[in-house]
């Protein structure tokens, strides 16, 4: 103020222009569409709930060499730096207890478990192992340190739908099941397959209405049904017509692919920002933004060459860069509160170590990723 009193009018305009330019330059890259106007009064901000997707693929039966489909030779040897500190397998209760403590101690609020209803599987016995982690989680004495929800990853049909509803409603009754306004949250990964399996839009809506009615009859009350989507869906509210309540994504890595081969992690973070803004601005439904911690399927691609695999990967992923991106994610959610479901954000992923996105403490990094995440969560929420 004193400096401005000593300079002329034209100089004031010049300096104000510089100041305005500087403010624009340092503005947050994923800017908000609905930042609340300042009224000069301090307002109390609600905490952002940070969750992570949990992939339960580390308990499958092993062969004579200790390998499974997911614990594959190339992953174990050439990508050993990704191995969690407890080892590749997770099929022990003490390991689950440790995982819960690591997640809760470092600020995570919930896990979204990839869940497999295997009625339509040709090998239902093997498929059951994909739910071992969830079973151990529910047996853990410290399970209430985290909430959890289900991400249904298997196809459905009209015939098995009643059984699907009964199975999931049983989970909704758990005291630490993730709820919004008292309503349990249920998410579908393969959204379009689910709609097709239930008979199309009108039949899917009928099936979801029956799902809600059964939940109420079983004493659960209302439920919230989420659809995994992508930024490539031009009319997001089509899922509202199908009976879904909100939207999210599992990961947005494909949107950051600039070329085959190596891509810098900054491409993934920019893609996340683009996806958040694209989806949220093209729907009237609530949305949970997801951020990535990397993506690199090369070890699985090498060991399973007949299966489709991405032709790109991200490099230069560090705990510090993950933390910076998490801060960006949480601030986007806060600044777009009217669009975000219950102040929640999701991280891809807790333990997609095979795909290249993880938070688990590893033998190479120890708890560096979680340490960085904890600092950001404390900074933003406290």
**What local confidence, expressed as pLDDT, does residue 126 receive?**
86
- Domain range summary for the chain, segments of one domain joined by +: 47-381
What is the value of pTM for the model shown?
Answer: 0.90
Distance, CA of 54 to CA of 134 (rounded, Å): 9
Task: Give the C-alpha distances (Å, rounded to integers) separating 302 from 28, 297, 307.
Answer: 39, 9, 10
Q: Which of 367, 322, 372 is nearest to 347 (CA)?
A: 322
- Under-70 pLDDT residues of the chain: 1-29, 31-44
Q: Give the distance between the most distant pair of CA atoms in the chain.
A: 83
The CATH number for 47-381, chosen from 3.40.50.720, 3.20.20.80, 3.40.50.620, 3.40.50.410, is 3.20.20.80
Helix (H), strand (E) at residue 53: strand 49-54
**What local confidence, expressed as pLDDT, does residue 13 receive?**
37
**What local confidence, expressed as pLDDT, does residue 32 receive?**
52
Going by DSSP bridges, is the β-strand pair 351-352/357-358 parallel, antiparallel, or unpaired? antiparallel
Q: Where are the alpha helices (DSSP H) in 2-92?
A: 2-5, 9-26, 73-78
**What local confidence, expressed as pLDDT, does residue 122 receive?**
85
- Residue 59, sorted as left (phi over 0), alpha (psi -120 to 50) or beta, turns out to be alpha
**What local confidence, expressed as pLDDT, does residue 29 receive?**
55
């Amino acid at each position: 103020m004193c400096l401005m009193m000593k300079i002329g009018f034209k100089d004031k305009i010049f300096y104000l222009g510089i100041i305005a330019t500087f403010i624009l330059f340092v503005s947050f890259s994923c800017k908000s569409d609905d930042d609340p106007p300042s009224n000069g009064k301090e307002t109390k901000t609600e905490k952002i709930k940070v969750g992570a997707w949990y992939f339960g693929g580390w308990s499958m039966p092993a062969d004579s060499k200790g390998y499974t489909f997911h614990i594959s030779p190339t992953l174990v040897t050439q990508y050993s730096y990704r191995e969690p500190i407890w080892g590749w397998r997770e099929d022990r209760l003490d390991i689950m207890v440790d995982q819960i403590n690591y997640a809760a101690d470092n600020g995570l609020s919930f896990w979204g478990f990839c869940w497999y209803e295997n009625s339509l599987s040709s090998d239902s016995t093997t498929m059951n192992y994909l739910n071992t982690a969830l079973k151990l989680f529910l047996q853990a004495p410290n399970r209430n340190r985290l909430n959890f929800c289900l991400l249904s990853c298997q196809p459905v049909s009209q015939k098995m739908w009643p059984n699907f509803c009964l199975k999931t409603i049983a989970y909704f009754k758990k005291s630490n099941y993730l709820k919004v306004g008292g309503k349990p949250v249920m998410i579908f990964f393969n959204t379009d397959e689910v709609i097709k399996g239930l008979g199309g839009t009108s039949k899917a809506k009928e099936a979801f209405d029956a799902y809600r009615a059964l939940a109420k009859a079983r004493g659960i009350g209302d439920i919230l049904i989420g659809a995994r989507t992508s930024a490539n869906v031009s009319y997001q509210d089509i899922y509202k017509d199908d009976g879904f309540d909100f939207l999210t994504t599992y990961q947005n890595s494909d949107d950051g692919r600039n070329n085959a081969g190596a891509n810098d992690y900054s491409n993934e973070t920019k893609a996340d920002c683009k996806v958040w803004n694209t989806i949220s601005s093209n729907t009237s439904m609530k949305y949970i933004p997801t951020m990535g911690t990397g993506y690199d399927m090369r070890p699985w691609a090498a060991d399973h060459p007949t299966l489709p695999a991405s032709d790109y990967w991200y490099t230069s992923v560090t705990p510090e860069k993950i933390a910076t991106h998490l801060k960006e994610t949480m601030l986007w959610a806060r600044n777009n509160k009217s669009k975000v479901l219950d102040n929640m954000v999701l991280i891809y992923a807790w333990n997609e170590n095979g795909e290249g996105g993880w938070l688990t403490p590893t033998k190479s990094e120890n708890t560096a990723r979680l340490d960085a995440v904890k600092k950001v969560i404390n900074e933003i929420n406290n």
